[in-house]
Structure 1
Amino acid sequence: MEAVDPTVFRLAIFVLAIFVGYYVVWSVTPALHTPLMAVTNAISSVIIVGALLAAAAHGVSGAEAGATVWISKGCGAVAAGLAAVNIFGGFLVTQRMLAMYKKKTPVAKAPIAKAEAK
C-alpha cells in the first residue's frame, strides 16, 4: 500500500473549509453582518502578519534554497497585497453600512422672495 500525498489531504481540508465557511456566513442573521465583517477584518489582519513573515523569509540551506526563497517572498508579497485589499475594502463596506443607519438631517430650503407688484 503506497502512501497518499499530503497535498491531497490539505486540498480536501481546504475544500471542506470552503463549504463550512459558506454555510456559516449565509446562516448569519442580517443584524449580525456588521460584527461579522469586523471579525473578518481582524482575521485579515492576522493573515497579513503571516504574509509579511512569508515575504521576509530567509530560506534554508540546500541546493534549491535560492528558488525557495524567491517563491516564498513572491507568494508572501502577493498575499500581503491581497490581504491589504481585503482589509481596506472591508472597512469601506462597513463604513457604508454604518452610514445607512445615521439620521439624515433635512436640508433647509431658502425662502422664496415674493416679488412685490406696484
Structure 2
Amino acid sequence: TPLMAVTNAISSVIIVGGLIAAAAATGQAEGPNGWIAKGAGVAAVALASVNIFGGFMVTRRMLAMYKKKERPAGAAHK
C-alpha cells in the first residue's frame, strides 16, 4: 500500500500539470499548435485519473486480504 500511495501522489502531480497545460492552451497566446497542448493536457488528466482510481481499487483489495474472516455462528471451536 505505501507503493500505491506514492503512485497516486505522482498521478496527482500529473493531473495538476495536465490541467495547467489544458488551461494554458485556451489563453490568448495559444498559437497554431494550441490544440496539441490542450489535447495532451486532457489526455494526461484522463489517464492519470484512471491510474488513481485503479490504485485505490488495488489498495482496497490488498487490505481486504488481511481482514479476519468471520466464522459461522454455529461453528464448533476446537
TM-score, scaled relative to structure 1? 0.56
> Which residue is 2:17 aligned to?
50
Measured against aligned partners, the alpha-carbon deviations of 1:42-100 in whole angstroms (never above 9, x if no partner) come to: 11111101011111122636xxx0x3211111110011000000000001001100110
Matched, 1:60 2:29: yes
Moved over 2 A (4+): 58-61
Q: Contact between 1:51 and 1:79, CA under 8 Å: does it hold in 2?
A: yes
Query: Runs of 5+ in structure 2 lacking a partner?
Result: none
Q: Percent identity?
A: 68
Matches of 1:75 and 1:55, distance apart in 2: 8
Q: Contact between 1:55 and 1:73, CA under 8 Å: does it hold in 2?
A: yes
What SS class does the counterpart of residue 68 from structure 2 fall into? coil
Matches of 1:96 and 1:107, distance apart in 2: 23
Matches of 2:28 and 2:16, distance apart in 1: 18
Which structure is richer in relative contact order (CA contacts within 8 A, separation 6 or more)? 2
Query: Runs of 5+ in structure 1 lacking a partner?
Result: 1-33, 110-118
The structure with more radius of gyration: 1
| Superposition CA RMSD, Å | 1.5
Q: How many aligned positions are there?
A: 72
Matched, 1:69 2:34: yes
